[in-house]
Amino acid sequence: MKLTWGPAGPSDGIEAPYKVAITGIGAVSCVGIGKDAFWNGISQAEVVGDRHIVDFDPSKWLNPKEIRRTDRFNQFGIAAADLALADAGEFEVNPDMAGVMLGTGIGGLESLENQVILQYEKGAGRVSPFLVPLMMANAGSASLSMRYGYKGPCESTVTACAAGTHAIIRAAKTIASGRCKVMLAGGTEAAMTSTAYAGFVNMTAMSNVNISRPFDRDRDGFVMTEGGAVLVLEELEFAKARGARIYAIIAGSASNADAYHITAPAPHGVGAAGCMKLAIEDAGMKASDIVHINAHGTSTPLNDLSESEAIISVFGSDAPPTTSIKGALGHALGGAGALGAAAAALTIEQGYIAPTANTKNVDPEIHIDVVINEPRKITVGPVISNSFGFGGHNGSIVMVPPE
């Protein structure tokens, strides 16, 4: 991983003095809460139906007063962080050397909508004095900082569907520079309100049959979901010294922009291809080193085709096996990249790729090796996880097995 890039990109940049390990994974999703339930859920060949997280009980993590003062997206982030820290095991760290980077696409939309209705029906005097902290996008990262007493950098990324990935990238760079020893990083979203749903339906982005089937010839749009994931990132030697289990090492990353359209990807996925190339170069690798791609794969006609074209552009006709966990989950918007990164790290640990749920017949215009029907064993090696968001925001992370 490079900390600075020269005129030719990462190749002539300055090498980071520290390596970054993933030591804890927490996930809150419609197919399962907790790392193991999440992995088992995305390993299914078929997942349909409601993508709300119906079994989420915030009282497991928050008292009644805290529940009233935190939006659902924030509750997901707190739960995922607690799960990730429990997974990482106990450690002591200087609070000044620990921080938080948490992404979201929208923030506290449910709270905002509820209070707008309340103001309209009963007057301004009935609006909650906690509305602002309920709805603000940075509430998720701020809540984690205060909960654990972490006094290092505490920031939020709001880059649509790439927000979680960008948060992890920023957190990894923070550790790689020596600024922090520990970072909580990820993304969370709870935007399944009637208004948001109507907006996506009216822009014809949603599936008419409520089935997410990335890269399938019959895909007709995405299915909205909610949830998020948080990773515990540690400086590698710090993690080794305490005997931590290490899922993977973040070897490289990249972020760029399509500079093309507010919702549509750049033609032929040129921005996505550029992002993947930069991430692989940042890791000091060649495209042929990558053994698996965790795709953005939203199940929309344009996104899946353009991403497949980007993959062919980078990897050639012999591209590594590719999966999209959005077949199982649906699209968690600002939480999607973090869930994808969690899946990529677990792929390295488990040694097999979860299938792209619901995809039965890969689109003949998509010339990549999409993993479908059942999990597939792989030779463990470097993997890349992609996120591409509305507005042309692109992010890619390269992970490698632990040393």
Residue 349 has pLDDT above 90, yes or no: yes
pLDDT per residue as tens digits for the range 195-210: 999 999 999 999 999 9
Query: Any residues with CB less than 8 A from the CB of 283 and at least 6 apart, and which?
Result: 1, 251, 252, 382, 398, 400
Beta strands 154-157; 98-103: pairing state = parallel
Strand partners, 154: 100
DSSP assignment of 265-329 equals: PPGGGHHHHHHHHHHHHHTT--GGG--EEE----S-HHHHHHHHHHHHHHH-TTPPPEE-THHHH
List the catalytic residue out of 166, 292, 296, 393.
296
Is 331 catalytic? The answer is yes
Which SS3 state, helix, strand or coil, does residue 161 take?
Answer: helix
Where is 15: in which H helix or E strand?
strand 9-15
List the domain boundaries for the chain. Answer: 2-400
Which phi-psi region, left, alpha or beta, contains residue 315 (left: φ > 0; alpha: ψ -120 to 50)? alpha
List the catalytic residue out of 154, 180, 275, 331.
331
* CA neighbor of 220 nearest in space, from 298, 143, 286: 298
The yes or no reply on domain 2-400 and CATH 3.40.47.10 is yes
pLDDT computed for residue 73 by the predictor: 98
Max CA pair span of the chain: 63
pLDDT computed for residue 156 by the predictor: 98
Determine the Cα–Cα distance for residues 389 and 333; give it in Å rounded to an integer: 8
* CA neighbor of 36 nearest in space, from 333, 343, 329: 343
Strand partners, 322: 293, 370
List the catalytic residue out of 161, 166, 180, 393.
161
Instruction: Determine the average pLDDT of the residues in 61-74.
Output: 98
* CA neighbor of 222 nearest in space, from 149, 150, 161: 161
Which phi-psi region, left, alpha or beta, contains residue 326 (left: φ > 0; alpha: ψ -120 to 50)? alpha
Instruction: Determine the average pLDDT of the residues in 53-68.
Output: 97
Structure tokens at 27: 């996930």
Is 161 catalytic? The answer is yes
pLDDT per residue as tens digits for the range 119-169: 999 999 999 999 999 999 999 999 999 999 999 999 999 999 999 999 999
pLDDT per residue as tens digits for the range 256-292: 999 999 999 999 999 999 999 999 999 999 999 999 9
8 Å CB contact between 394 and 249 = no
Structure tokens at 117: 């209705």
- Give the position of tokens 């550790």: 175
Determine the Cα–Cα distance for residues 25 and 84; give it in Å rounded to an integer: 4
Is 268 catalytic? The answer is no
Other Cβ atoms within 10 Å of 81 Cβ, number? 31
Q: How confident is the model at residue 397 (pLDDT cuts 50, 70, 90)?
A: very high
Determine the Cα–Cα distance for residues 337 and 295; give it in Å rounded to an integer: 10
8 Å CB contact between 2 and 212 = no
Instruction: Determine the average pLDDT of the residues in 43-72.
Output: 96
Residue 8 has pLDDT above 90, yes or no: no
pLDDT per residue as tens digits for the range 368-392: 999 999 999 998 899 999 999 999 9
Determine the Cα–Cα distance for residues 328 and 234; give it in Å rounded to an integer: 29
Percent of the chain scoring above 90 in pLDDT: 97
Residue 403 has pLDDT above 90, yes or no: no
Residue 79 has pLDDT above 90, yes or no: yes
